[in-house]
Structure formats: C-alpha cells, structure tokens
Chain A
Amino acid sequence: MNKAIEFIDVSKSFGATRALNNLNLYIDKGDFYGLLGPNGAGKSTLIGILGGLIIPDTGTTLVMDYNVRSEYIAARKSLGIVPQELVFDPFFTVYETLSFQLGYFGKKIDKKWILELLDSLGLANKMYSNMRTLSGGMKRRVLLAQALVHKPEVVVLDEPTAGVDVQLRSTIWDLIKKINNDGTTILLTTHYLEEAEQLCNKTAFVNNGNLIANEETKNFFKTSANKSLLLKIKNGQAINNLNIKNIHFHSTDKIEFTFSNLSEITDILNILNSKKIEIINFEIKELDLEKIFLSYLNS
C-alpha cells in the first residue's frame, strides 16, 4: 500500500459541537502534506485522533496501514507528533527527555544520534540543561527533536513554527525538508500560507469539520486568490459598474480586489484608468485563510 495516513468516514463531536463530519482523507507515503484551516476547523482533532489522544465517535484511521485503535502499538511506533503547545517535563534535562522518548518507542539510548539531532537543531550546547531553563524557541526545537528521535515513518507537525522567529523557522524547515527527502511522510498544519506553498506538495483545507479542498499545492495556489489590493479612491466616483471579478466595496471611497498573481494588478489598474477613477492611496496585503477558502470556493 502507498498510503501513509488514511481517515475513513471519521466523525467526532464535543458535546453539541461537531468537530469532524464524516471526513475522508488520505496521504501518500513520502508526501509533504499541508493541512490548512481556520481556528476550530478540526485540524488538531484530526491530529489527536491520529495519535490516539482523541477517540473518534465513528470511522477508521490508519497509519502505515495500522489501525490507530486496534493496532495502536504498531501505529504509534510509526508516528512522531509535534504538539502545538509548548509542553515539557520540568524535572528533566534535554538529554533525559530525548532518552526517555527513545525508550518509550522501544529503542535503546543512542547518545551519538541524540547529539547529532540536537546539533542539527542548534541545541547541542543545551544537551544537559534542564528543560525549565530553555527559551520558548529552544523548547519548540526540543519538541521537534522528541518527535524525530525514534525515526518515525510519519511526522505530524501541529503548527510547529507558531511564535518562532524567521531564522529559527528556516532551521526547522531545513531539517524537515531533509527528512522528507529521505522518505519520511510529513503532515503539517500551519497558519502561514507561504510555508504550505513553499514546502507542501499537496494541500488540504478543512473547515467546520469538513474537507473543503484537497489539491496539489501548485494547483491550489494557482486557482485561489491569496492577496488583496486595497484602494482608496476619490469620493463620489462611479464605481458600481466596474467589470472586475473578486471586487468588494467597503464604502464609497474604498474598494478591495483579491487576486493570486501580481500581474493581475496591471489589468485592474488599466480598467480603473479607463473609467477615469482617481486613486488616492493603495495597499497590497496577504489574505487570511478564511478569505482564501472563500476565494477557492468561488473559483
């Protein structure tokens, strides 16, 4: 089989809230898969089910063909999960934390490998430091090392770069790209669109517990608008009959256009010029995820 992860008709409710709604999704072995969606979309619930932290109401979940419930030992051995929260055990050092993690997964302590892993994350000099003494960014990297130390076939990253500076993000992605090139399947949830665009070969959108889109990343970003041009124009001009798609009127002197390619701006400006509409100010910005969903659905 070529599938690393499979969700088959998975549903989960928390009280009256439906977190996942008969969701079907599969991820091929070796993929770098992006899972996008707004807060509360169901991404973390999916990851929780994958790791056995959440028990679904219905459906089947497989990791490397192992059922995460009935064959949980084999399924979890194949998985490494980086949780979203900065969690750590304050009693132990970085080395002890990683040694325990190796042991939990049935592997003997391999000091050389632990050092190599810490070195690749810029933490070799913190090997014997207590977890409490590390900065937030360092703790985030230790979490990543914990997910990788037992060399799993599937690595799940639940917003691993949230609150991480640009340089550190680049260090993390260099390592993740390397292990993906070595054959490890990666499932990434992120709020940073550029990360999904640059790293993932496939991208899925989840919203309200439903899978909205599941595409090759290059197709996805080609078909959906992800930027907007906000224009302030001279008040009292005739703007209602502009023949431009993805146009939104905020007020009589503010218009917004959403687009995916910067070259579209020229077309927009040409139309405005032909209609003799005077522009006072403009701003280009990245759209948030929800607007991109809408744009994708519209397209």
Chain B
Amino acid sequence: MFDIGFFTLLKKELLRFYKVAFQTIAAPVLTSFLFLIVFSSALSNRMVIGDGVSYINFLIPGLIMMTILQNSFANSSSSLTQSKITGNLIFILLSPISNFKIFLAYSLASALRGMVVGFVMGLAIFFIFDYKIHNFIIVILYSFFGSITLGVLGIIAGILTEKFDQLAAFQNFIIMPMTFLAGVFYSVESLPNPWKTVSQFNPFYYIVDGFRYGFIGHSDFNPYIGLSLLILFFLICSIVTIFFLKSGYKLRN
C-alpha cells in the first residue's frame, strides 16, 4: 500500500515546508509566543480557572494546539491552492498515484508540519516555564488526530478554492473563528449561554479541551469521549475528501 509513489509525494510535501522553515515553523512559533506573553501578562491575575490551575498553565496547551491546527490547515490548503494557480498540480493528477494515497500524503504532511511546530513551541516553553505533562499519550493522540483532521480540512479548502483570496476567506471566516472560539484563551464552562451551547457544537473545542487535559489533567469534557468524537470527525472529513478526489471535482475538469 505505501509504495514509492506515496512516499515521494509525502517527501515532496515535507520538503515544501522544510525549504521555507523560517516562514512555516519559526514564524508561527514566534506569533504564539507573543500571544502567550501578552495574554499571560494581561490576564493571569484576572482569570479564574478553578481546580488550582493557573491561567498560564491553562493558556499554554490551548495556544500550542491552536498553532498546530492553524499550521496543519495552512500546509495542505496552501500547497493545493498554489499548485492549482501555478498549474503544477498537473504532475500529481497525471501520475498513477491513487486518490487515497494523494489524500494520505497531503494529510500526513500537514499533520507532521502541525506537530513539528507544536513540538518546537512546546520545547521552547519547557525551557522558559516550569511545566509538566500529565498524560503524554493523550497529548500525542490529540496532536496527531487534531493536526491530521485540519490537514484534511485543508485539502477540502484547497479543492474548493481557485484563488488565494478565496482561501484567505476560508481561513479567516471559518478556521480562525473556530480556533479562537474553542476555549484557547478562556474556559468554555465559564461562558454564559447561548455562547456556551454554541461552543459545544464547535469540534475544535473538544480538540483543545482534550489536549489541555493531557497537559494539566483538567478538562471541561471527558477527554476520552472527546477523542472518540475527534476521530469520528476526522473520518467524516476523510470520506468527504476522498469523494472529492475520486469525483475529480474542481480538479479534473
């Protein structure tokens, strides 16, 4: 199943972001650090999380996951959109690589970029702040399924969009609000209704909440049920993406 064609496409997608690592890895890590410094300085004395969790300990995993999600999405969506605009997507479409392997290579490369950015950020944080991981396996599982799900959503966005402004609209009007409203900077439990109920329909909320549990051992929602919902969401997105790839919608006409 994992033949030379699949590994070549995966390698190409990995090299694509590695070659511009300053833009794809260093820049998002720096941005997240700025968020961390500004929010922790401004709000650490005002925000009450409960269970003896400090605001900075609450904020760090949320910011890491937000960075992972945004970068995973950016990887596949920008790669596909750019290839469509410059026309070089033709080399993938003319190749004998199956639709499923194309899907897998793009989504795995996106997941890897998201996790690399998250890892670099996590590493830097551990050097600066006194921080511990409560459940390493939960952290890894949420990182992987969160990033690959956003990679898959990025493929859908790349298929549907024809231009960068359309992609920017997808990113700014769907992905960005969903990540910001996923309880990165605050606890969803502390929100008044109807915002609390609305947030509970946001799948990104469960990703951030479960990932945070892996760090601080505290979450609003059961992290194991959250993980199951995340995997279900990933499978639904994957089926939609494979359907798009198989039909050739906006790719093969």
Contacts and interface: CB of A to CB of B under 8 A. Distances in A.
Contacts of B94: 51-53, 76, 79, 81
Interface stretch (B4-12, B43-51, B151-159, B222-230): B4-12
A146 B91 CA distance: 9
Interface stretch (A27-35, A100-108, A169-177, A203-211): A100-108
Contacts of A54: 252-253
A91 B15 contact: yes
Contact of A108 (B4, B12, B96): B4
A35 B92 CA distance: 25
B98 A73 contact: yes
B96 A55 contact: no
B248 interface: yes
Contacts of A100: 8-9, 11-12, 91
A147 B19 CA distance: 25
Contact of B4 (A87, A92, A96, A107): A107
Chain A's interface size range is: 20 to 34
Given A76-B94, A106-B3, A91 B19 contact: yes
B16 A91 contact: yes
Given A73-B98, A91-B16, A105 B5 contact: yes
Nearest to A79: B94
B116 interface: no
Contact of A106 (B4, B11, B16, B93): B4
Interface string A86-120: 01111110001001111111111000000000000
Given A103-B5, A104-B5, A53 B90 contact: yes
Contact of A52 (B19, B91, B252): B252
A210 to B, nearest CB: 21
Which residue, of B19, B20, B83, B252, has the highest number of chain A Cβ atoms within 10 A? B252
Contacts of B87: 83, 85, 87
Interface residues of B, number: 28
B88 interface: yes
Interface in B237-253: 248, 252-253
B122 to A, nearest CB: 27
B95 interface: yes
B193 interface: no
B86 A90 contact: yes
A185 B118 CA distance: 51
A276 to B, nearest CB: 60
Nearest to B92: A104
A77 interface: yes
B125 interface: no
B231 interface: no
A72 B245 CA distance: 14
Contacts of A91: 15-16, 19-20
Which residue, of A14, A87, A107, has the highest number of chain B Cβ atoms within 10 A? A87
B90 A87 contact: yes
B3 to A, nearest CB: 6
A89 B96 contact: no
A92 B252 contact: no
B88 A87 contact: yes
B178 interface: no
B141 interface: no
Contacts of B20: 91
30 contacts: A14-B253, A51-B93, A52-B93, A53-B94, A54-B252, A54-B253, A55-B253, A73-B96, A76-B95, A83-B87, A83-B90, A85-B87, A87-B87, A88-B88, A89-B83, A89-B91, A90-B86, A91-B16, A92-B15, A100-B8, A103-B7, A103-B9, A103-B11, A104-B8, A104-B92, A104-B97, A105-B96, A106-B4, A106-B5, A106-B96
Interface of A: 14, 51-55, 72-74, 76-77, 79, 81, 83, 85, 87-92, 96, 99-108, 146
Interface of B: 3-5, 7-9, 11-12, 15-16, 19-20, 83, 86-88, 90-98, 248, 252-253
